[in-house]
A and B are shown apart, each in its own frame.
Chain A
Amino acid sequence: MTASILFFVLASVAIAAALGMLISRNPVNSALWLILNLFCVAGLYLTVNAEFIAVIQVLVYAGAIMVLFLFVIMLLNLSVLPDLKRIEWRRIIAFIMGMGLLAMLMFIVANTLDMVPDPVTLQVAAETGSATSLAKVLFTQYAMPLEVIGILLLAATIGAVVIAKKKPV
C-alpha cells in the first residue's frame, strides 16, 4: 500500500518536473527541474527494490551528467542568471501539497480501474535487482553487448577528442 502510494507520488512529481523542465525559459531552472525528475525516477527504482540501479541513477545522471550540463550552461555566458534569493516557500509547499493531492487522486482512479501495479516481493527483488545478480547477467548473458558498449564509449571518447581538438588536423 505504501509502496503503491509512493509510486504515484513519485510518478506525478516526475511528470511535473519533466513538464517544468520543458516550460521554464531559464536554462538553469530547466536543469534543476531535470535533476528533480531524475531523483524521482531513482525513487521509482527504489519502490521496486532495485537499489543498485537507483544508486547508479543518482550517481551518474543526477550527479555527473547534470553537473556537466550546469557547467556548460554557465560557461556559455548566460545573460540572465536565476535569482536564488527570492525563493518563495509558500509556492514550494503549495507544489508539494498539490503533488500529494494529485497522487492520491491518481491512486483512487487507478484503483477503481484496477490498474494499481503489483508490488515486487523481496524475493524477486533479490533475484533481479541486486548488484550481484545484475553483474552475473551482465557478464554472462549480456557479455557481448556489454563489450560492444565498451567499444561504443571508446569510439565516442576518441571522436570527442578528434572533433574538439584545438588545432584542426
Chain B
Amino acid sequence: MDLSQAYSMMMTDLGATLFLLIVAVSGLVLVVFDAFKPRHVATPWIAGLALSAGFVIEMMSIGAPEGLAWYDMMRTGGSAAFVNSLVLGSGALSIILTVPYLKKIGHNIGEVYAMILFATVGMLVLGAANNLVTVFVGLETMSICLYILTGFVRSESGSTESALKYFLLGAFSTGFFLYGIALIYGATGSMEFGAIRIAAEQSAGVMFWGGVSLLLVGFLFKVSAAPFHMWTPDVYQGAPTTITGFMSTASKAAAFAALVVVLWKALPAERWADVLAVFAVITMVIGNVIALSQQNIKRMLAYSSIAHAGYVLVGLASGSQAGYSGALFYLMVYTIMNIGAFGVLALLEWDGKEGSEQTLESLAGVGYRKPFLGWTMAVFMFSLSGFPPLAGFLGKWAVFAPAIDADLVWLAIIGVLTSAVSAYYYLRVLVVFFMKPEGENSPMAEHSFDIPRSSAAVLIACVVLLVVFGVTTFALDVTSGFFAADTVTQFLG
C-alpha cells in the first residue's frame, strides 16, 4: 500500500474520531499541566470540558449512519456514538461530582483527572471497537487506569487492598481473554468482527467455540457477572465513592457495548444464547440475594450492580434486535441511576474512609436532615428497583420483553422474581433514611456540611432524566434503530 495514501486516510479518520482525539490530547495536556501547576483549579475544568466537548460531538452523530474508521478498527456513528456519549456523559458528570469529593477527602491530585480521561479513552475504544485487537487494547487501557483510580488514596489501606485485588484478578481474566482471542484467530484467521463471522459460519469447531468461551470470560469479568464478580464488592467498597460511580457505570457500559457488538456482528447466532442465559440467572440470583444482607451501603450497591449486569445479560441472551437495543437502553438508564446514587453517597460520607466502614444504620433520619439528598436518593432507589414511571421500569421491560419473545419465559420470570427481591434492599435504604429516628450519638449529627451546587445540579439532572426516559420512549426508539437487519448485512457485505 502506498504510505502517503495511508496517511491521508488517517487524517480523515482523525476527523471521524475527533472525540477520541480531544479526550486523549486533553489527558496528555493535563499530565504536563499538572506537573507545572499542581492542584490548579483549571485541571478539573480541562478534563470536564474535554469530556463535554466529546459528549456533544458524539450526541450529534448518534443519528449518523454506522461507519468504520482506522482500517475497520473502529465503528463510528449509530450505536457506537450512543455508547460513546454514554461513556463521555458519565465521565463528565463524575468529574463534576469528584471535584468537591476529592477536596473533602483531602486527595485533590491532578493525576486523578488525567486518569479519568485515559480511562475514558480506553472505554471509548472498547465501546466502538470493530476488531478484537481494538477490544483488547481498549479493555486494558481502561482497566489499568481503573486499577490506579481505585488505589490512589494510599493513606487508606482498604483502597490499596482493593486496588491490588482488582489488579491481580483483572490480570488473571485478561489472560483468559487474550487466549480466547488467540484461539479465535487460530480458528478463523481474522480478528475483524465481520470476517470472523463469515469464517465461523462456514466452519466453527471446538477451537472457535473454546475461544469464544474464553473471550466471554473476559467480558463477564469486566461486567462483573457471577461467578466472576467476586472482586466487585471489595473494589466498589474500597474505591473513592465518586470513582466507584464512574467505574460502575462507564466501564460497564463500554464492556457491555463491546460484548453486544461481538455477539451481534462477530458470532453466528447459535450456542451462546443459552450459555448467557445461565450466567444471567446466576448473576441475578447471587447479586440480589447477597445484597439483602449487606450493611455497608456501598457494598450493597456493588451487589446491586452485579444484579443489574444480570438483567442486561437477560437482554443479550434473547439474541434479538430488541434484546440488544434493550440492553443499550438499560445501560443508559443504569448509568444515570448509579451516578446519582453514588453521588448522594459521596455527599453523605462521614467516616473519612471513603465510606468503606459506613453502615446503613448510621444514616438513620438523614432524609429529614437533608431532604434534598433524601428525596433524590428516593428517586434513584425507586428507579433501581424498577418502579414505574421511572426509567428503571422501562429499562427492565426493555430487557425482559425480548427474552419472552425469544421463548426464554423462565428467564424473564426469574428476572422479575429476583428484582422483586431487590425492592427489599433498595427500599430499606429509604426506610432508614426517612422512618428511623436519628440515633443519640449519630455521627450525622456532628457531621454538618453543605451540598455543593454543582453536585446538586448533577443529582437534579439525573432525576429529571430518569423521569423523562421513564415516561417517553424515544430513547428506546433510538437504540432499537441501531440493530436493524439492514445494518448487519451492510457490514457483512
Contacts and interface: CB of A to CB of B under 8 A. Distances in A.
On whether A and B touch (CB less than 8 Å), the answer reads yes
Interface of A: 136, 140-145, 147-149, 151-152, 154-156, 158-159, 162-163, 168-169
B398 to A, nearest CB: 32
A99 to B, nearest CB: 25
Interface string B244-267: 000000000000000000000000
Nearest to A148: B137
Interface of B is mostly: helix
A163 B152 CA distance: 6
Contact of A145 (B31, B133, B151): B133
Given A155-B148, A159-B115, A162-B111, A148 B71 contact: no
Nearest to A141: B71
Contacts of A143: 10, 70-71
Contacts of B17: 144
Contact of B133 (A140, A142, A147, A154): A142
Contacts, number: 91
Chain A to chain B: the 7 pairs with minimum beta-carbon distance, closest first = A159-B148, A144-B70, A152-B141, A155-B118, A168-B154, A145-B137, A141-B71
A140 B6 CA distance: 6
Given A154-B31, A154-B118, A159-B147, A144 B74 contact: yes
A144 B133 CA distance: 10
Interface string B107-122: 1010100110011011
A143 B3 CA distance: 12
B480 to A, nearest CB: 29
A112 to B, nearest CB: 21
B144 A168 contact: no
Contacts of B137: 145, 148-149, 152
A152 B119 CA distance: 9
A163 B144 CA distance: 13
B134 interface: yes
A148 B121 contact: yes
Interface residues on B, range: 35 or more
A149 B118 CA distance: 11
B459 to A, nearest CB: 28
Contact of B73 (A145, A152, A155): A145
A140 B1 contact: yes
Contact of B154 (A145, A151, A155, A163): A163
Contact of B71 (A140, A152, A154, A162): A140
B144 A159 contact: yes
A53 B397 CA distance: 51
B74 A152 contact: no
Interface of B: 1, 3, 6, 10, 13, 17, 24, 27-28, 31, 70-71, 73-74, 107, 109, 111, 114-115, 118-119, 121-122, 125, 131, 133-134, 137-138, 140-141, 144-145, 147-148, 151-152, 154-155, 160, 163
Contact of A162 (B13, B24, B148): B148
B380 to A, nearest CB: 31
A148 B152 contact: no
A151 B3 contact: no
Contact of B144 (A140, A144, A156): A156
Contacts of B152: 159, 162-163
A55 to B, nearest CB: 21
Given A142-B73, A155-B148, A156-B144, A148 B115 contact: no
Given A143-B10, A168-B154, A148 B107 contact: no
Contacts of B133: 142, 145
B107 A145 contact: no
Contacts of B140: 152
A163 B141 contact: no
A158 B31 CA distance: 9
A151 B141 contact: yes
B35 to A, nearest CB: 10
Given A141-B71, A148-B138, A159-B147, A169 B107 contact: yes
A159 B31 CA distance: 11
A144 B71 CA distance: 9
A160 to B, nearest CB: 8
10 contacts: A136-B3, A140-B3, A141-B71, A142-B71, A144-B74, A145-B134, A147-B24, A155-B144, A156-B148, A163-B163
Nearest to B38: A169
B193 to A, nearest CB: 15
Contacts of B141: 148-149, 151-152, 155
Q: Max chain B CB contacts within 10 Å: which of A141, A152, A154, A156? A: A152
Q: Max chain B CB contacts within 10 Å: which of A155, A156, A162? A: A155
Contacts of A154: 28, 31, 118
A125 to B, nearest CB: 17
Contacts of B10: 140, 143
A154 B70 CA distance: 22
A39 B148 CA distance: 32
B151 A151 contact: no
A147 B140 CA distance: 13
